[in-house]
Amino acid sequence: MKNIAIFLLIVLSASSFSCDFLEEEPKGLISDTYAKTEEGVESLILSIYQRNRYLTERLYKFADCGTDLTTYATNGVGWPYEEAMIYNDPLMISNRWNSQYWKYLYKGLNVANLGVQYIQETPIAHEEKKNQLISEVHALRAFYLFMIVETYGPASHYADTPSQSVITEGYQPGIAVFYKKILEDLDIAFQYLDIPQNTQWGRMNIGVAKTLKMRVLMALAAYDDAIITGAGYTKQQCYDEVVRLCNSIINDYNYKLLDNYASVFDVNNQINDEIIWSIQYTSDLVYNGMDLTDIDANSMHRYFVGWYNKSAKNPNINIDGLWSHSRVYGREYRCTMPTYYYISLFDKFDKRREQTFQTAWCRIPDNWNNEPDYSDTLLIRTLDVVSDEYVKSYEDRGIIVDNITDLYDINTGIPTINGRSCHHTMTKYLDPSRDEAKREEGFKDLILMRLGEVYITLAEAYVRTNQPEKAAEVITQLRKRALIDGHESALKVTAADVDMDFILEEGARELGCELNRWYMLKRSGKMVEWVKEHNPDITLIKDYHIYRPLPQDALYEVTNLDVFVQNKGYK
């Protein structure tokens, strides 16, 4: 059982919050009397971590879908996955995942607001513990405020006090107000949060707070000067502080890049030196769900899994020895898939390529829950165009080869009809710890922040401040583990190579599909042109799509629609 899970039994029995924006009751079953005890207020704060689980799949829909790296697979057509990707405004406004994302963000914020209020009113035996809880809940509130304003922009409803009854009036004071409060909360968080090695795994610590502030300042720096000034900064101050924060995260704590990129995502290595913050899960399903449903289990393992018991050349015939689902290779879902651009970004001598995409499937004997026989390969899906002779050499040995050209039109980047079902698996979320091949509930922790992102962000800040030599040095350090002996020159980086296009490309190679791509593209100022250029399935994206639309059902609940309005451009 994961470390933080031992606290959650209290939460399960005492904090079943039931609330919808704009109809909030943050305490749920917790009475004022209990919530203002030392045990009660800590349980209230800890319940926010369990609420983070509700964000997982919604984050995926709105932080990875609709970017250069992800497109819809066969089963994604006509579902919220496609709706979130193609920027069809009416579908996005009515999209149930958008509605859920909005509601879950505001539910989390409301509980954090309650925690901020109650921790001040609660007697706690030791002042040090009280101070740490104060810092912790302010950091958690900063996280929710940041996710809200970066997603919904100027249309975001602002609240810094808890709502105990129905709210029907929305309040939109603007982006600067959000950022001012976020930065104030992080200043409080920095005062008493402990160092990572002294903090329970999965809880807020100074390393998490610094990484969050790194993201906050990079996003803030992308806005107009009036917003930046309103938050108390200048653009240069944002980037300078990001450089200091990144260097502190890299050098002052026990974080380090793992030697093997794939091991960062290994289900048997979920507590490792590269992870800064992750959402915790456990194989005990009761602990995984406040309401004993799968809504906050980790089901991310499904999304990038296509048919691997069929070939794109003939999907009507099953491949003997491969199953429709597998505990190891994943539960087939065919909802989302990597774009051709994502696959083609990697140099063939970059280890991260083969560690990101599944390229070979081996016989699974007798039962879909069994381990594959790794000596008996049945299917290969190439990442490069290969010759007919190459294909024949494998097929003569009984191994089916799907050429990349069977999966995509490589001239346009559009997936083929069969390629939308028989696509590569992106492996970062695979969860072989599941006890059943078809089980949708997963137990693997979800990484929200890791050190690789800090390196990418530091390089970006150096580019923004016209220091390409330092940016190249940072990327060189990051790429050491990606080097293949004898081919080091293939990944050599010089100052002349490094600009914002390069940063976006390297960010994709290092961090692709890790629930932050849309936000990275947004702050780059290049999102619309970049997505148009690299994802041919997205043709409707426009300049105003740097903000997500307010969900229609939230607008139905608001009575002051003369001043509480939808983001510009959406109709």
Task: Kindly report the average pLDDT of the chain as a whole number.
Answer: 93
Q: What is the DSSP string of 67-100?
A: SSSEEE-GGGTTSHHHHHHHT-HHHHHH-HHHHH
**Tens-digit pLDDT profile for residues 318-351:** 999 999 999 999 999 999 999 999 999 999 999 9
Residue 32 pLDDT grade (very low, low, confident, very high; cuts 50, 70, 90)? confident
pLDDT of residue 22 exceeding 50, the answer is: no
pLDDT attached to residue 286: 54
Tell me 197's DSSP state.
Answer: G
Determine the 3-state secondary structure of 471 from DSSP.
helix
Determine the 3-state secondary structure of 279 from DSSP.
strand
pLDDT of residue 538 exceeding 60, the answer is: yes
Q: CA torsion sign, 255 to 212 to 119 to 34?
A: negative
Q: What is the DSSP string of 505-564?
A: HHHHHHHTTSS-HHHHHHHHT-HHHHHHHH-TT-----GGGGSPPPPHHHHHT-S-TTTS
pLDDT attached to residue 84: 74
Write out the H or E segment, with its range, that includes residue 225: helix 225-230
pLDDT of residue 15 exceeding 70, the answer is: no
> What is the average per-residue pLDDT within 83-93?
89
- Return the bridge partners of 311, or none: 314
**Tens-digit pLDDT profile for residues 151-201:** 999 999 999 999 977 788 999 999 999 999 999 999 999 999 999 999 999
Residue 6 pLDDT grade (very low, low, confident, very high; cuts 50, 70, 90)? very low
Domain boundaries, the chain: 300-429
pLDDT attached to residue 130: 98
Q: Where are the alpha helices (DSSP H) in 122-164?
A: 127-152
pLDDT of residue 14 exceeding 70, the answer is: no
pLDDT of residue 3 exceeding 80, the answer is: no
Distance CA 38, CA 124 (A): 5
pLDDT attached to residue 82: 76
Give Cβ neighbours of residue 17 (< 8 Å, ≥ 6 apart). 25, 26, 27, 28, 47, 51, 107, 111, 290
